Amino acid sequence: MHSLVLGVRGETTVTSERSIDLYTQKEPFSGRGTGEPSDAFAPQELVTLYANVTYNLYPEQNTRVAFQIRGPPNPIWNFSIVESSQTNANGIAQTSFRIPWPDENAETQVFGTWTAVATTGIAEQTVIDMLTFRVGWIVRLLSVETIDVNNMSRTRFSQGERVCFNLTVENIAMTDKVATLVVYAYDNSSVSLGQLLVEHVRISPGVNVFFIGDLLIPTWACLGVSSVVVNACTELPSADGIPWCPQVSTTFLITKLIVHDVAVVSVAPSGTEVFPYDVVYITVIVRNEGDQAETFNVTTYYDETVIDTQMVADLPSGVETTLMFAWSTCVPVGNYTISAVASAVPEEVNIENNKFVDGIVWVKSWTLPAVWEIPRWLLALLFLLVLFICVAVIIFALLWECERKKKGRRNRQPTHPEVKPCKKVGFKKSKTCGVCGKEFPGAYTFCPYCFTFHGKDYE
């Protein structure tokens, strides 16, 4: 590659006929080309520098090339390396060194932008090329943040809740890298709460944020401050993977399990058989079965149609309240199912008890009830009974009348006046009434007892 004309090191210039190109082994971003940067290197990674020397586009053989490498400026120690090498038959000189890693304050001394310079003389002219490269963790975990399932940042979770994580990762390379991310959590007594594993995550250059979830906090987890540790590896250790960078960690607080639960425990209509346009009063009992006061709505239905909705405000834990709903049965005749539903409160898990179905309310028509038909056998029995009673009454009346007459005869005493002998010849002294059977004076034409006519008074 031809070098441009540059003012370097005082009066030294680089012409287009004399060229040196400094680059590294990091293809495809090795720094080929005048002044081009190279891809990044990790701590303790081997760096190989190549200097391609040409004159009028032909390789310069057996030419000495000087290399100087300088680390990032820092207040502890500034690394500086000077090497030299001779070009081969292809006009390429090379040197290698490994990125240092001191025992103390290594990141301060090593991490940052490194500069490499290669110089040589061609036909009594000095040519030079320079490149830069970055040294650091190629894939670096910047931070881990605890969040809830709605991606809201939180540092306080209760037993039985689910905790998720936002993981911020930086890739300082110029190409995508692949990492396996492992999230491990343990409670205040160092008991494992679980592990989340995300394999073969592609990380693009720059800063990336990954949502990782979710981890269930057991109900038996120890209360207090818990820890989260995150590692990024090339592969799992069991597959010969190594860490990309140091792990990161954070803490969150585990508190007592807080239950949010409201329930409908009873639905009772005032009647189950009604007529159109009647009013049915529906009594609904709801209870807060959670640990905190709750505000929610209660809606009653006939079948799938809403009757009414009422709000229950700040119902304390463990307390019941009674609601009254009025349903005007302006509906067609038929059967209707009555139910009540309590709206779910935030973080409520058990919603099966939020609905209660009472049963059926029958809306009847206004038609008169059918006349009861008397069975024929009953009519026959009644007729025979009436006939028997009538015969019995007649027989009783006859027997009573006969007994009365007999008693009358036994008790009858003659009371008529003494009959004097008739002076006229031909008159009977007495007569016997053919009707009542009593005797009366023969001079009478009519019976003085029953006034029955008896003809002439004389013979």
Q: Which tens digit of pLDDT belongs to each residue from 350-367? A: 999 999 998 899 999 876
Tens-place pLDDT, residues 76-91: 999 999 999 999 999 9
Residue 224, strand partner residues:
254
Between 288 and 7, name the one with better pLDDT: 288
What is the DSSP pairing of strand 355-363 with strand 273-274?
A: parallel
User: Does residue 43 contact residue 135 with C-beta atoms inside 8 Å?
Assistant: yes
Average pLDDT over residues 191-197: 95
pLDDT number for residue 119: 97
Q: What is the pLDDT of residues 99-132, one digit of tens each?
A: 999 999 999 999 999 999 999 999 889 999 999 9
pLDDT for residue 40 is more than 60 = yes
Max mean pLDDT among 46-50, 349-353, 402-406 falls in 46-50
CB-based contact 214:146 (threshold 8 Å): no
Nearest to residue 16, comparing CAs of 35, 36, 2? Answer: 2
Integer angstrom CA distances of residue 444 from 247, 422, 429, 438: 156, 12, 10, 13
Residue 369 has pLDDT above 60, yes or no: no
Query: Rounded CA gap, 341 and 385, in Å?
Result: 62
Q: From its phi and psi, is residue 194 left (phi > 0), alpha (psi between -120 and 50) or beta?
A: left
DSSP 253: E
- Alpha-carbon distance 339 to 348, whole Å? 21
Which domains are delineated in the chain?
Answer: 18-135 (2.60.40.10), 139-255 (2.70.50.60), 262-363 (2.60.40.10), 423-459 (2.30.30)
At 291, the pLDDT band (50, 70, 90 cuts) reads confident
In Å, what is the CA distance from 102 to each residue of 51, 81, 395, 450?
Answer: 28, 16, 141, 163
Amino acid letter, 167: L
Gap between the Cα atoms of 166 and 152, Å rounded: 10
Structural element, H or E, at residue 420: none
Sign of CA dihedral 26, 29, 32, 38: negative
Q: Is the pLDDT of residue 6 over 50?
A: no
Q: Is the pLDDT of residue 396 over 60?
A: yes
From residue 205, how far is each of 9, 108, 115 by CA, in Å?
A: 35, 22, 21
Q: Are 161 and 170 in contact (CB under 8 A)?
A: no
Say what the pLDDT of residue 414 is. Answer: 53
The residue among 200, 276, 277, 256 whose CA lies nearest residue 233 is 200
Looking at residue 12, its pLDDT comes to 42
- Position 152 pLDDT exceeds 50: yes
Mean pLDDT of 14-28: 85
